[in-house]
Amino acid sequence: MARRTPAGEDSAVDDGRGEDRALMARVVGGDRVALELLYRRHAGWLTARLQSRCADPDLTDIAVQDTFLAVWRSPSSYRNEGDVGAWLWSIGIRKLIDQMRKRRPTPIDPAIMALPDVGPDAADSLFANGSYGELGMNLVRLTPELRAVLIATAIDGLSTKEAAQLLGVPQGTVKTRLMRARHAMQEALS
Amino acid sequence: MSQIVNQVRLDANWSAISAELDAPKASMAERLLGRLRVPGHIARLVVATPALRRAWYLAIGIAVLIGLGSARPDNPASVFVLLAIAPALPVLGVAMAYGRSADPMYEAQVATPMPGLRLVAIRTVTVLVVAILAVGVPALLASTTRSMAFAWLLPALALTSASLALMTWFPPRRATAIVAVIWFVGVVVARRVGPDELAAFGAFGQLGAAMVTAIGVAVIGARRSSFDRMEHAS
């Protein structure tokens, strides 16, 4: 299955992308300074957004550290195309799930699991400003449980199995809720 | 965007990443042990001590020899010699690697909270595991001699547990020497009086080895306190 990337990247206009790619090229070459620059550019939103998926700040911190360690150790998994921020997010959310699987913290309250209001691009408030438009409005109208599942899969880019680990519910529940959420969205949009 | 997450937190995370990148790289053997969920400090202990590495190589070399030797069943005498030596080697290898003369880490060990007996136990298990793996693969390949190729395993466990049990009373080298002497005398006598050359490794021999293993483990369990005593006394 092709990995879905977080929403928002195609709508974002960001001059920093070229710079991100240049930094990644230097990281591939083993440049520690480039890694630190990459960290300084992206750690802020990544930490904040991971924090909105996990109630335990310690686990979030470990996930962020693991993300950049993974970037340093296998930078070639970045295919030199696409958004570096989206790539970082896809690593970060999986590192977070790894941590949650190991420590089993209390899953985050689905009601708190909001649409990401920070993203890899400069226009942080993009999401908060209602760029999701009608879709975002309808998302808000879903019950918290359904919305959380939809956010985890459609926006975080997780599989149903990973979403189940993130939300601390069985995979079957995720599938059922996802189906119900899709029906609700379809009805609302038609 | 950094106003959302505390700058102090971001800096702390970067420091952690930096420290991780600067940490000495674990060797391949160490990382492999880590994969197998061996605690980090034990993994380092197992692979790092030079004297221990010698014991490793010795055990591996002998184990491969036995694998090859028992793959040639045309010469019963050579099979007997190999089967007699094999079980004693892991224990002797570890005893060789332990002690003031052999171990450059000896002084450090004395000062650490890792008791001598436990250290020997860790090393013995390490050598045993490697030896079993190294002899098991060639033995499986030489399918005709499978039973004989594994005949040394239970005796090896018996000698190991007997040595560890004796080490709760005696210094490591004396304990292993006592066990080795009893073992060698035993197999030679069994060869003389037994129905065939490999009598010591037949059903009765294996049963005896299993019993010795059980008794050894029971003694080690019962005299557990000597672990702690060594921990504080040494």
Q: What is the pLDDT of residues A13-68, one digit of tens each?
A: 456 778 888 899 899 888 899 999 999 999 998 998 888 888 888 899 999 999 99
Where in the sequence is the domain holding A179, given as residue range(s)? 123-190
Could you tell me if A173 and A140 lie in one domain? yes
Could you tell me if A133 and A175 lie in one domain? yes
Domain boundaries, chain B: 1-48, 50-233
The pair of three-digit structure tokens given for residue B44, joined into one six-digit string:
């380092």
Place of tokens 């038609």: A190
Put simply, whether B218 touches A (Cβ < 8 Å) is no
From first to last of the 234 residues of chain B, give the pLDDT tens digit: 444 578 888 999 999 888 888 876 666 666 777 676 666 666 766 665 555 566 666 666 766 666 666 555 566 666 677 777 777 776 766 666 555 555 555 555 555 555 556 666 676 677 677 666 666 666 556 545 555 667 778 888 898 889 888 877 887 778 888 998 998 898 888 888 877 767 677 778 888 889 999 999 898 888 866 655 543 333
CB–CB of A65 and B4 under 8 A?
A: no
Instruction: Give a yes or no: residue A115 inside a domain.
Output: no
Instruction: Give a yes or no: residue A162 inside a domain.
Output: yes
pLDDT at residue B129 in the model = 74
Nearest Cβ partner for A44 among B1, B16, B18: B1
Q: Are A24 and A80 in contact (CB under 8 A)?
A: yes
Q: Which of A109, A132, A164 is the last residue of a domain?
A: A109
Instruction: Give a yes or no: residue A9 inside a domain.
Output: no
Q: Which of A51, A86, A109 is the last residue of a domain?
A: A109
Q: Which residues of B touch A64 (CB under 8 A)?
A: 13
Half-sphere exposure in the Cβ direction for B14 (13 Å, CA): 19
The pair of three-digit structure tokens given for residue B216, joined into one six-digit string:
């050894």
Could you tell me if A127 and A75 lie in one domain? no
Q: Are A152 and A158 in contact (CB under 8 A)?
A: yes
CB–CB of B4 and A64 under 8 A?
A: no
> What is the C-alpha separation between B230 and B234, in angstroms, rounded?
5
Q: If you average pLDDT over every residue of chain A, what do you get? A: 78
CB–CB of A43 and B21 under 8 A?
A: no
Instruction: Give a yes or no: residue A133 inside a domain.
Output: yes
Q: Which residues of B129-139 are buried (b: 16+ CB within 10 A; e: fewer)?
A: ebbbebbeebb
Q: Can you give the CATH number for the domain in which A181 is found?
A: 1.10.10.10
Could you tell me if A136 and A186 lie in one domain? yes
Instruction: Give a yes or no: residue A4 inside a domain.
Output: no
Instruction: Give a yes or no: residue A157 inside a domain.
Output: yes
Q: Which of A55, A84, A109 is the last residue of a domain?
A: A109
Could you tell me if A77 and A34 lie in one domain? yes
Number of domains comprising chain A: 2
CB atoms within 10 A of CB B155: 26
> What is the C-alpha separation between A61 and B101, in angstroms, rounded?
47
Report chain A residues touching chain B, CB-CB < 8 A: 32, 36, 39-40, 43-45, 47-48, 51, 57, 61, 64-65, 68-69, 72, 118, 124
